[in-house]
Structure 1
Amino acid sequence: MNLLRRIQSALPGLRKSEAKVAAYVLRDPAGVLPLRIADLARLAGVSEPTVIRFCRALKLEGFQAFKLQLAQFLGSNGNYVQFSVSEGDSVADVNRKVFDSTIGSLLSVRDEVDPLALERAISAL
């Protein structure tokens, strides 16, 4: 499962303060990469230990491991993250957001397909 989906899946089980970090990351994943832990904590309105707890809630050792996984995900998926369409978006923005969300969804499905199960299904046909 990709990192952004893991964050979305983990949201219901996170503390309120950890959910603030999750919301910030989901809102601007690429913008998190250059941040220091103190910067992310400030921008999310939480403490630095909360950012660490958020990372550990995702089964990562710490902030650097989190940023590494985020960078790998964004690099391998061409920044096709899901964005909400807003009322003030231009037609070009809506077009880009819809296509990026669709591509992101397809890449997520691709990453979650079990190759052995797919082979068995093909053989059964």
Structure 2
Amino acid sequence: MSEQKDSIKAGKVLDTIGSLYNSLTPSSKRIADYVLSNPSEVSQLSIAELSQTVNAGEATIIRFCRTLGFKGFQGFKMELAIELSNLNQQEKSIFDTDVTAADNAETIGQKLKSTIDNVLSETINLLDFSALEEVTELISNAPSIYFFGVGSSGLAAENAKHKFMRIGLNVDALTNNHFMYMKASLLQPGDIAVGISHSGNSDETTKTIKIAKESGAVTVALTHNPRSDITQFADFVLVNGNRQGQLQGDSIGTKIAQLFILDLIYTSLVKRDVSYAQSKKLKTTQALLK
């Protein structure tokens, strides 16, 4: 089983806080809120000063830092300072803001483009590429691959089914919870079950992955929260980004991040045997044209 790394490289601190936010304790969320809103100030504070500012004990701050993979506050502060230094070298776009009621269509378009750029950068920061490569290897040799998801995550599952089928894989997508549970119970060792849930707390998808794991299948969770419910039953966790404006909801950022990771797997599979993938795509195209 591939797990999230215990430590964080510079450039991932703020994104990691965002991905873990919903699984934090109330006191840790207060610390996270302050760090996300005032990162430059935090990098200059002592632990005693931060403790007083966020009304949390020093031991709570240290636990917060360890939750992110650091040994203590000093290591956390050093990596945060490095990250901020790198960010400051990049000019912030005027469009790196939320959509407002006064925006015209062109401005909204520019802001949505910025959202896509941001969420893809965040996804690359959060994604465990060694886990992705292992998943790709297993999928390439799997008897069957199944994508599970409900709501908007179900759309990502259906998209993956279409792409992976075009290159000759035995693949299906299920988005109805009854069908999801039945199929998961019938999986065999070597089969791959990919559960897609942005929050990681979808009851239907979590139950499906649990059943699939009990059946002996290899289980993969595609989620924004690496410590959510679904990850308890996942052999591999692939973390997608979520950096987007408040008014945008999950209109574009989440979907793009999920599709991006699925496309990374798809492209890696094609790269392994380009001629085979091309021949299968040609056959499926001809079938559609007939």
Q: Fold match, TM over 0.5?
A: yes
How far the C-alpha of 1:11 sits from its partner, in A, is: 1.6
Q: Which residue of 1 aligns with 2:61?
A: 51
Measure the CA separation in 2 of the matches of 1:106 and 1:57: 24
Assess if the C-alpha contact under 8 Å between 1:3 and 1:70 holds in 2.
yes
Alpha-carbon spacing, 1:75–1:107, altered in 2? closer, same or farther (3 Å): farther
1:1-125 correspondence to structure 2 within 5 Å? 2-78=12-88, 102=115, 104-111=118-125, 112=127, 114=129, 120=268, 123=271, 124=274
How far the C-alpha of 1:19 sits from its partner, in A, is: 1.1
- Percent of aligned pairs sharing the same letter: 32
Measure the CA separation in 1 of the matches of 2:65 and 2:57: 13
Alpha-carbon spacing, 1:122–1:11, altered in 2? closer, same or farther (3 Å): same
How far the C-alpha of 1:14 sits from its partner, in A, is: 1.6
Measure the CA separation in 1 of the matches of 2:53 and 2:60: 12
Name the aligned partner's letter for residue 72 of structure 1.
Answer: I
Name the aligned partner's letter for residue 29 of structure 1.
Answer: P
Q: State the TM-score, normalized to the length of structure 1.
A: 0.68
Alpha-carbon spacing, 1:55–1:106, altered in 2? closer, same or farther (3 Å): same
The gaps in structure 1 that reach 5 residues or longer are 88-97
How far the C-alpha of 1:109 sits from its partner, in A, is: 4.1
How far the C-alpha of 1:107 sits from its partner, in A, is: 3.4
Q: State the TM-score, normalized to the length of structure 2.
A: 0.33
Name the aligned partner's letter for residue 59 of structure 1.
Answer: G
The gaps in structure 2 that reach 5 residues or longer are 1-7, 101-110, 137-263, 279-290
Assess if the C-alpha contact under 8 Å between 1:18 and 1:54 holds in 2.
yes
Assess if the C-alpha contact under 8 Å between 1:37 and 1:63 holds in 2.
yes
Measure the CA separation in 1 of the matches of 2:39 and 2:124: 21
Assess if the C-alpha contact under 8 Å between 1:77 and 1:104 holds in 2.
no
Q: Which residue of 2 aligns with 1:92?
A: none
Deviates more, 1:104-113 or 1:50-59: 104-113
Measure the CA separation in 2 of the matches of 1:60 and 1:9: 16
Return the structure number with greater relative CO, CA threshold 8 A, min gap 6. Answer: 1
Q: Whose helix fraction is larger, Structure 1's or Structure 2's?
A: 1
Which aligned segments of 4 or more residues in structure 1 are displaced greater than 4 angstroms? 101-104, 116-119, 121-125
Assess if the C-alpha contact under 8 Å between 1:29 and 1:70 holds in 2.
yes
Q: Deviations over 1:60-112 (max 9, x none)?
A: 100001011111211223375xx875x8xxxxxxxxxx69x746445324545
Measure the CA separation in 1 of the matches of 2:49 and 2:97: 25
CA RMSD in angstroms comes to 3.4
**How many residues are treated as equivalent by the alignment?**
114
Measure the CA separation in 2 of the matches of 1:9 and 1:110: 13
Measure the CA separation in 1 of the matches of 2:51 and 2:19: 21
